Amino acid sequence: MDKDQVRLFTNDREGIFLTRPNRFLIITRDGDEELPCHCPNPGRLIEFLFPGLRLILEKRGQAPSAKTSSRPKTSWTIGGLYYRNGVVPLFASRANRAAEALILHQIIPGLKELHPEYKAGSSRFDFLGLDAENRPHLVEVKACSLVENQVAMFPDAPSTRALKHLEELAALSTQGYWGHVVFVIMHGDPRVFIPNLHTDPLFAAGLSRYGVAAGPPGQNTPGILQPKTGTVQIHASLLRCTPQGEAVLAAPYVPVDLSHGALAESNRGNYLILLEVVQEKSVSVGSLGTRTFAPGWYVYAGSAQKNLSHRIKRHLRKVRKHPHWHIDYLTPHSRTIKALPIMAYQNRECELAGSLTALGARPIPGFGCSDCSCKSHLFYMARPPMGNRAFVEMLLRYRARLT
């Protein structure tokens, strides 16, 4: 293999995605055979996992691992997947390989030594590097697979571990270490990297509080300079990967935007509430009177210009609340309730309602729109919205916008 490449997986077999019973298990089909496969990425991966998706499988070793005496429960691991004319590697833990072989020598000038799994403070970091002047650089590497609308975001699910590492790197920078977080973007053509404040506002706020966007000298950022005490340098780099698992560095510097920390801390924005009704229900909905709700899924578009998380928690409760909004009358009759926050500087609930109409969702007349001119803010869908690619793409489009 070329020295400018690193292998992130082997392509031993390919299959078609069927289901994901849990975070670590994916069922695929190859011909007439169904194959249970280990999923090495615990993220939500909502933009990828639709029936018919082509998956790349790597054969798992059947000997007990060094960390456990038990044998693997599945014979295959999902090494990668095909998405939008490209390949997305799914081994989040192997982003370290790419960082070590392709990235760190590019973004830390004069790097002469690199030691993996280095313990400092109360954490173990991915690397300790020494530069030409023997200055110690602590590096934490994060794999970023969420790239939509030319915006890369991390994480796609809450990550207390990522926040802990960030806070410890900031603290260690007061003791002579240089702290770095490197986001390895696994695919796509991103114009910018931002923290995913929709799924993890605490981490997003932390990145803005402690982070300094690093980049190539002579552009908008000054490259690697002596960091201010208590700060961590934030990098984003882009990989390209072949179906055989060979990755190259496509861009050592993807612009990093950490300017949305105040929005993450403001706890305001928009949201979609998904409700599943399994049997036909006649429900008294306050001033709207009695409405009949057919079995299926309902999507409610709302906003909260303060206390967004509290508003969502209220909607998720089925009991112990006095009805205030129209949606409060429906939640006790729902088997499943899910919330999708969309943090934004502007109130976009009416725009969301318009987008749901454009998707073909059926409005429930007069529901949740007494203070605007919309026909409804509640929409019926016969099938689960998160299984609808157009719905997921709409959600991610709003999340990428912010403004």
pLDDT digits (tens, 9 = 90+) for 252-277: 999 999 999 999 999 999 999 999 99
**The domains spanning 6-86 and 93-263 adopt the same CATH topology:** no
Question: Who's near 385: CB < 8 A, 6+ residues apart?
Answer: 274, 297, 299, 391, 392
Across the strands, what pairs with 248?
A: 5, 240
User: What is the CATH architecture assignment of 6-86?
Assistant: Beta Barrel (2.40)
pLDDT tens-place string over residues 276-307: 999 999 999 998 999 999 999 999 999 999 99
Per domain, the residue ranges of the chain are: 6-86, 93-263, 267-401
Reading the block at residue 327, the tokens are 């949606």
Q: Is the pLDDT of residue 217 over 70?
A: no
Question: Who's near 167: CB < 8 A, 6+ residues apart?
Answer: 206, 210
93-263 maps to which CATH number? 3.40.1350.60
How far apart CA 127 and CA 114 sit, in angstroms, is 7
Across the strands, what pairs with 213?
A: 234
Query: Which is nearest to 144 in space by CA: 101, 106, 200, 212?
Result: 200
Q: Give the HSE-up count for residue 384: Cα atoms under 13 Å, Cβ half-sphere.
A: 8
Least confident among 255-264, 319-328, 356-365: 319-328
Predicted model pTM = 0.92
Give the amino acid at 65: S
Least confident among 43-52, 226-235, 239-248: 226-235
How far apart CA 38 and CA 78 sit, in angstroms, is 6
Percent of the chain with pLDDT over 90: 85
More confident residue, 285 or 65: 285
| Eight-state DSSP code of residue 83 | E
SS3 (DSSP) at 152: strand
Reading the block at residue 359, the tokens are 């998707």
| Eight-state DSSP code of residue 48 | T
> Cα angle at 298 between 295 and 300, to 5 degrees?
160
- Mean pLDDT, the chain, as a whole number? 92
